[in-house]
Structure 1
Amino acid sequence: MLIDLQSVFWEDGPYSESDRRAAQAAILMEIDAAKAAGTPVIAIRQEWSIPSTKLIARLAMKGQAVAGTPGTGLAAPFADIADHSIIKRVQDAFETGELDQVLNSLDVGRLRLVGLDFNYCVLKTALAARNRGYEVTVVGPGTLAAASTEKAQALLAEKGVIVV
C-alpha cells in the first residue's frame, strides 16, 4: 500500500531531497517486487473532505490536500502505478470502509506499507489494519517522517506490526 504519496506532500512536504530520493528508491523496489509476485498495489490518497477536517487542514496545513485542490494526485514517480486507488478522509485509511471492501475482494491477508508520514497516516493505517487481523509490515526505508519515529515504532511493535 502506498500511503499519501501525493505531489502536495511529496514535493512540498518537510522532507529533504536526499531523504525523498532514498525513500523513492525503496518504494519503487517494493512496487517492482509486488508486481513481479502478482500482488496488487493499492494507492491511498488523502483528501480532507469532512467539513471539520477541511477547516483544520486550511488552518493547520496551509490547505494542503483539501478535496478539489491542486496536488492531491500521486507524485510523478508513483503516478499510474497502482492497481487500485482509494481516497481517505482522515489518517486511518480504513475509515470509510472502501479499503475493507477492496482488500476483501482481493483476498488479502498481509499488507506492506510505504509512504508518509510514518508518525501519522502510516501509523494510523497500520494500527487499523492490525485491529482487523491483517499481518502488517511497514517498510521503514520506504517511509518518510517529519519527526523522530521512535515512539511510533515502539507502539507498532507492541501491537504486532513488523517494521523492517
Structure 2
Amino acid sequence: METNRNTRILIGILILIILTLLLNNCKNVFFPVEVEAPSQTISLDQAQRLQEEYVRTRSEIVNKTLGFEDTRDFWFSLDSVEQYIRYVRSESKKQGLEDLGLRIFYAAYPEESKEEWPNPGFSTVIIVPTHGKPDLGNGFFPSPPVQKTSNVKAYNYGNAGQPPKKVK
C-alpha cells in the first residue's frame, strides 16, 4: 500500500514537472512578452518626412540620369529577415565572431545579366553581416564595424516597389 502511494506521488511530481516545462516553453504563445522599441526607431510621420526629403532632393536626379523611374523601396518578409539573422548568428558563432551587426548597401542589378537577376537595371539593397566594435575615436560619426570577410552570405532578393511606394 505504501509503495502504491509513493508511486502515485512520484508520478504526480513528474506530471507537475512536465507541465511546468511545457508551460514555461509556451509562455510566449499564451503570454506574449512585450518588447521595447530600440532607441533608433522613429515614428511613421518622421519616416514619411525622410522619404519625402529623398524624393525632393535625389529621386528626380536619379530618374533623369537613368531615364526611368527607379525603385526606391524594398520589402522583405519578417520571417525571412528573422531567418537571415539566425543564419548570421549561427555562422558567426562557428567562426568565433562577436559584436555582430548588419550593414545595408544600395546596389543595382546589372542590365546585361537578364537571366541571372530579377530586375535588371533597377536598384536593390544588399544586407551584409558585420562584426567588431565601431571606432568611437572619429568624433561625432564613429566608423562602422568591420565588414565580414568570412563565409557568411549577404542578403538580397526583397520585393522592390515598381513604381516606388510612399511611406504610409
- On whether the aligned pair clears a TM of 0.5, the verdict is no
Higher relative contact order structure (alpha carbons within 8 Å, sequence separation ≥ 6): 1
Higher strand residue share: 1
Structure showing greater Rg: 2
Which range, TM-score by smaller chain?
A: under 0.3
Normalised by the length of structure 2, the TM-score is: 0.25
Normalised by the length of structure 1, the TM-score is: 0.26
